[in-house]
Amino acid sequence: MVNTVSFERLLRETTYRSGESITYNKTYIHILTLRSVVYIRAVDISKTFGTRKILDGASINVNKGEIVLIEGPSGIGKSTFLHILAGIDTPDSGKVIVEGTDIFALNEDRRAKFRLEKMGIIFQQMNLIDDLTVEENIALPLKLAGKKWKERVDELVRYLKIEEVRHAMPASLSGGELQRCAIARALANEPDILIADEPTSNLDNENTQNIGALFKKINKEMKVTLIIATHDPRIEFIGTKKYLLREGRLHER
Ligand SMILES: Nc1ncnc2c1ncn2[C@@H]1O[C@H](COP(=O)(O)OP(=O)(O)O)[C@@H](O)[C@H]1O
Ligand SMILES: [Mg+2]
């Protein structure tokens, strides 16, 4: 007999592929389904802009706790895919299922609420609001969710080492500080999933190393699942799973 509790833990903490066999407590187990470990699933996503089919059946499986990298050259469709994964843009066809919820089956309001509670997003252009201070930018998602913000912002500026620029305007920040501010804002509502779009594209080597290490730390300490689009070989080392986006599809490698 398989001890159910430990077996569940085994499944949670380790990644198996459907169809794979494992031996546990001298019991031969054939993995039939990934349901217990797959956390985010995109199935056959397609998206056309004008006459250009950017995504053509892109699928991905993300397990809880992973750091998944989506790689591919500029213009290939990485941002488009991330926006669909986050429910900001809609696909022409295909599904995104997050912890059992089909996000495009929700209406726009419920999808926005779902995103606000579950996901933190760091956009390619960071999208900080220029006429709000760092503190006000970070507090914004908390205010939108109707939560108290002061203590959480205290915690985040400390964690991300941006206390000194807390009351500054984004325009006066360095690239590294701006990126940490964007990360703080994305973490404000304690998301389970953090999505980052080319987070190191404008950073020098030192800041890139720091952001890479920071993502690993966030993944470990805050138990956040990360999905990162990048074509930066300098942060490849943080990925636990890598996909290459090519011809509209995601290829695991
Ligand atoms: N809203 C849009 N309308 C028309 N074309 C778009 C739109 N968004 C992206 N594209 C085009 O789709 C292609 C893929 O873009 P993008 O997803 O930003 O690629 P990546 O992030 O890999 O650089 C690009 O050619 C881009 O110009
Ligand atoms: Mg992009």
CATH number, position 226: 3.40.50.300
For residues 131 and 27, membership in a common domain is answered with no
**Which ligand neighbours the alpha carbon of 83 most closely?**
1
For residues 73 and 174, membership in a common domain is answered with yes
Asked whether residue 55 is domain-assigned, the answer is no
For residues 170 and 229, membership in a common domain is answered with yes
Nearest-CA residue for atom 18 of ligand 1: 79
Widest Cα–Cα separation across the chain: 62
Q: What does the pLDDT read at residue 61?
A: 95
Q: What does the pLDDT read at residue 2?
A: 44
For residues 32 and 79, membership in a common domain is answered with no
Asked whether residue 231 is domain-assigned, the answer is yes
For residues 20 and 71, membership in a common domain is answered with no
For residues 142 and 17, membership in a common domain is answered with no
Binding pocket residue ranges, ligand 1, CB within 6 Å: 49, 54, 72, 74-80
- In one-letter notation, the amino acid at residue 84 is I
Q: How far apart are CA 105 and CA 101, in angstroms?
A: 8
Nearest-CA residue for atom 2 of ligand 1: 49
As for how many domains the chain has, the answer is: 2
Q: What does the pLDDT read at residue 8?
A: 58
Residue 156 lies in domain: 64-90+106-252
| Token couple for 104 | 């495009």
For residues 23 and 112, membership in a common domain is answered with no
Contact 214, 183 (CB under 8 A): yes
CB within 5 A of ion ligand 2: which residues? Answer: 78-79, 124
**Closest ligand 1 atom to 72 CA:** 22
Asked whether residue 151 is domain-assigned, the answer is yes
* 133: CB partners within 8 A, 6+ apart: 166, 167, 168, 169
Per-residue pLDDT of the chain (253 residues; tens, 9 = 90+): 444 545 555 555 555 555 666 676 667 666 654 444 679 999 999 999 999 999 999 999 999 999 999 999 999 999 999 999 999 999 999 999 999 899 999 999 999 999 999 999 999 887 899 999 999 999 999 999 999 999 999 999 999 999 999 999 999 999 999 999 999 999 999 999 999 999 999 899 999 999 999 999 999 999 999 999 999 999 999 999 999 999 999 999 8
Q: What does the pLDDT read at residue 124?
A: 85
Q: Over the range 112-144, which residues count as b (16 or more CB within 10 Å of their CB) and which as e?
A: eebbbebbbbbbeebebeeeebbbbbbbbbbee
Q: Which of 80, 90, 195 to mutate to test the pocket of ligand 1 (most atoms within 8 A of CB)?
A: 80
Asked whether residue 209 is domain-assigned, the answer is yes
- In one-letter notation, the amino acid at residue 139 is A
Q: What is the pTM of this model?
A: 0.85
For residues 118 and 32, membership in a common domain is answered with no
Distance between start and end Cα atoms, the chain: 36
Q: What does the pLDDT read at residue 9?
A: 57
